[in-house]
Structure 1
Amino acid sequence: MPEGPEIRLAADAIAQVLEQKIAERVSFSQAPMRHFGKRLTGIEVLEIETRGKAMLTHFAHGWTIYSHNQLYGVWTVAERGQIPPTGRSLRLRITTATHEALLYSASDISVWPTADLGQHPFLARIGPDILNRDLRWQDIATRLREPRFANRQLGALYLDQTFLAGLGNYLRSEILFQAGLHPNLKPAALSRGQIGQLSRITLELCWRSYHTRGITNPSSRVRKLQGKGLRGEQMRFAAFGRADLDCYRCSGVIDRIEFGTRRLYLCHNCQPEP
């Protein structure tokens, strides 16, 4: 499933062709949604917003399309009338004078009065968006200390969207590896310094992934790996997906474990079990 940085990158592409443009046609493929097409057609698109892994398409007359890609949803941008061939099911099509924004295979789409979005069952319970420009590391540190989160294992907490919206499986492994923390640890057991470090790393890695289109390794390590001839996925992560490979820090071995039914990668030397 795409994580916060990937959803924000998709939103950026959609925003380029939709924001401040008139939606000359809006169509939904699913029968219960089709009547909303007329309500949204001919209206200006004000903003494309993301909240965690959800995307919100805000229209000027006070209505919003909520969409969540789930496992299989994909947004595509094309020139008007140039819909690319694909075996996917087209769920939503927004057409401007020059472009098309196309959502394929997503199963979670709804239309809401913008003022009522706080009542949406997903949006009502999620935490702050990890790429919200107003989010500071101090805010994350405060949440880690809250009673509802402080006694949760980090391996579970860092997939919980009520803690921070947009975190996902690869970010979880990468953040905990960078912080040197075992997934079994709980925030309540961390020192003030560890809480601060974890909070800074959380924010830093999420923004790095966004700016680099999915690379969480620092630029110095990426250059070194490129010098060795590595490309693409081979140089993307420090821990995630690197089972049985050497740890970049200690030359130990990266291990893959199952945590909460999801795969998690760690170095037992750098992230000792409590």
Structure 2
Amino acid sequence: MPEGPEIRRAADRLAEAVVGQPIESAWFAFPTLKHHEAALVGARVRAIDPHGKALLTRFDNGWTLYSHNQLYGVWSVAKAGERPDSTRALRVAIETARSAILLYSASDIEMWRDDELGRHPFLAKLGPDVLDPSLDEAAVEQRLRGDRFSGRALSVLLLDQSFLAGMGNYLRSEVLFQARLLPSRRPRDLDDDERRRLAHALLDVPRRSYRTRGTRRYAASVNDTPAGFRFAVFDRAELPCDGCGGLVERREIGGRRLYLCPRCQR
């Protein structure tokens, strides 16, 4: 499943294609959404915002399209009137005079009034978005100290979207490596320096991944991709750690793979 940086980059591409332009046609595959098609003609998309792994396409008529790609959904951009050849099932098409944004394969799609969106059952459970620029390290440290989260192993906590939305499996491994912490540690057992390192990594790693426009897999050394994001440990089992030269390990925790350096992480 795409993680926060990938979802936000997708939102950027969609927004660049259609924000501010009058909608000339709207189409929904699901019968329960069909009555929204006519109402969207003439409206404009005012923003496309991610929250965690959901996308919110906000229209200027008081409605918002909620979508979650889950495992198989894909948003695409096309020229107006064009539909790329695909074996995927088209679910949503929003078209302006210039461009179309198309959602394929997803099933979690709803229209909500803006003033009711805060009651959405999925969005209401999410923590702050890890890529929200207003979220700072002090706020993350406070969440780590709170009773709700402080007693949970980091391996589990870092995938809990109610803690920080947008985190995922590769981010979890990379955050723990940068913070030099083992996945079995709990926030309540960390000292102040460890907690500060973790709060910093929880914001720095996903934001660096987003800024550098995606992940780059293993290179000979970190200096080979100085401007890009590369995996330090994720998907690098049995390869040497850049920090200490020891071998990176792969572990299965809760049915999900996690990578770490047992020498660097304590």
Please report the TM-score for the alignment, with normalisation by the length of structure 2: 0.95
Counterpart residue number, 2:263? 269
- Counterpart of 1:4 in structure 2: which amino acid? G
Q: CA deviation at 1:84?
A: 1.3
Find the residue that maps to 1:150 and give its secondary structure.
Answer: coil
Alignment of 1:32-71 (within 5 A): 32-71=32-71
1:17/1:99 contact within 8 Å kept: yes
How many residue pairs match? The answer is 264
Q: CA deviation at 1:248?
A: 1.0
Query: Is 2:242 the partner of 1:256?
Result: no
Q: Distance in 2 between matches of 1:55 and 1:41?
A: 21
Counterpart residue number, 1:81? 81
Query: Is 2:124 the partner of 1:124?
Result: yes
Cα displacement string for residues 239-265 of structure 1 (whole angstroms, at most 9, x for unaligned residues): 110111111111111111111211110
- Counterpart of 2:231 in structure 1: which amino acid? F
Counterpart residue number, 2:22? 22
**What's the RMSD between the two structures over aligned residues?**
1.9
Find the residue that maps to 1:131 and give its secondary structure.
Answer: coil
Query: Is 2:242 the partner of 1:243?
Result: no
1:54/1:68 contact within 8 Å kept: yes
Counterpart residue number, 1:2? 2
Distance change (3 Å), C-alpha of 1:226 and 1:198: closer
Q: CA deviation at 1:36?
A: 1.9
Query: Is 2:66 the partner of 1:72?
Result: no
Query: Is 2:201 the partner of 1:201?
Result: yes
Q: Distance in 1 between matches of 2:216 and 2:124?
A: 30
Q: CA deviation at 1:107?
A: 1.4
Counterpart residue number, 1:166? 166
Counterpart residue number, 2:224? 225
Cα displacement string for residues 18-63 of structure 1 (whole angstroms, at most 9, x for unaligned residues): 2111111111112222222122222111111111111001111110
Q: CA deviation at 1:74?
A: 0.8
Q: Distance in 2 between matches of 1:165 and 1:63?
A: 23
Q: Distance in 2 between matches of 1:205 and 1:226?
A: 15
1:174/1:216 contact within 8 Å kept: no
Structure 1 unaligned regions, length at least 5:
none
Q: Distance in 1 between matches of 2:6 and 2:215?
A: 11
Q: Distance in 2 between matches of 1:41 and 1:5?
A: 31
Flag as ranges the 4+ runs of structure 1 deviating above 3 A. none
Q: Distance in 2 between matches of 1:256 and 1:249?
A: 17
